[in-house]
Amino acid sequence: MILQDRIPYDVTAPRPLPGIAPLDPSEWLIVDEAYAGQMAERRRLLADRCNEVLALSSGAVPAAEELLETVLAALPDGFSRAEDSVLCPDGARVALDRTDPLGTLGRIVQEDLCLMEKHGDQHVLTGAVLCFPASWRLDEKFMRPMTDIHAPVDSFDDNIARRVQRLFDGVQAGRPLWRFNALRYAESELFHPRSMHNPRAPVDPAAAPFWRSERQCILRLPRTRAVVFSIHTYLVRSEAVTAATA
């Protein structure tokens, strides 16, 4: 199992949807105690199951290239960048393959990275490296607008959809936003794809052994104007949350 020791925010605190707050740009990318384990799993998935965790439309290549440079410029302490590679905190050296910007990023940072670009009235998922899906599948969401992406989520009604679309329209370069979700899970797998036609069964909160939380950040790329939706996944034993809130 690849677990963190704790979640660095209170997942039990009620927050009205969509629960957005400003984010200090310097706190966008995180290296935590699960970095080595999560990155080994990310690199394995990109090597063995790339078609399930990576997708990029031809029109989104400029945004993906800009995202690569944006992430490289924002890498936190623990990374060392050379002209053609990055030395990561776990000691792995990752070549900078600019013909595969999302795949390269997926081997460097813990965050899953989704590109959302405005097509008509909505933002559409035009590219992603998504190694740790929480009960959804990239192939079912790729090139679909936001309302379709969230269609199976009961709490994502028309009112919330409009508010989220306004957030995506209004987020400014250099002024990122963040939110989190938190769900109880019976399984510890980080790669947890599930079809929208086969939704996850309800989990008894009193018996579920794990909390899974996504720290979701939203930022604007200044040149292409694409919106980046990044996901840092925390997975902890339930007692870690109980101890933190006791």
Report, as an integer, the average pLDDT of 127-137. 96
Q: What band does 206 get if pLDDT is binned at 50, 70 and 90? A: confident
pTM confidence score:
0.93
Report, as an integer, the average pLDDT of 55-74. 98
Q: Is the pLDDT of residue 16 over 80?
A: no
Q: Is the pLDDT of residue 36 over 90?
A: yes
Distance CA 118, CA 134 (A): 24
Distance CA 236, CA 210 (A): 6
Computed on alpha carbons and rounded to an integer, the radius of gyration of the chain in Å comes to 17
Give the three-class secondary structure for 234: strand
187: number of Cβ within 10 Å: 15
Higher pLDDT, 74 or 13: 74
Q: Do 129 and 113 touch, CB atoms closer than 8 A?
A: yes
pLDDT score, position 11? 94
Distance CA 32, CA 44 (A): 19
Q: Residues 136-186: pLDDT tens digits?
A: 999 999 999 977 775 555 555 566 677 778 888 999 999 999 999 999 999
pLDDT score, position 19? 86
Report, as an integer, the average pLDDT of 190-203. 87
Give 60's contacts (C-beta < 8 A, 6+ positions apart): 115, 117, 126, 127, 226
Q: What band does 200 get if pLDDT is binned at 50, 70 and 90? A: confident
pLDDT score, position 80? 98
Q: What band does 215 get if pLDDT is binned at 50, 70 and 90? A: very high
Q: What band does 66 get if pLDDT is binned at 50, 70 and 90? A: very high
Q: Do 166 and 158 touch, CB atoms closer than 8 A?
A: no
Q: What's the chain's average pLDDT?
A: 92
Comparing CA positions, the residue from 233, 174, 230, 179 lying closest to residue 21 is 179
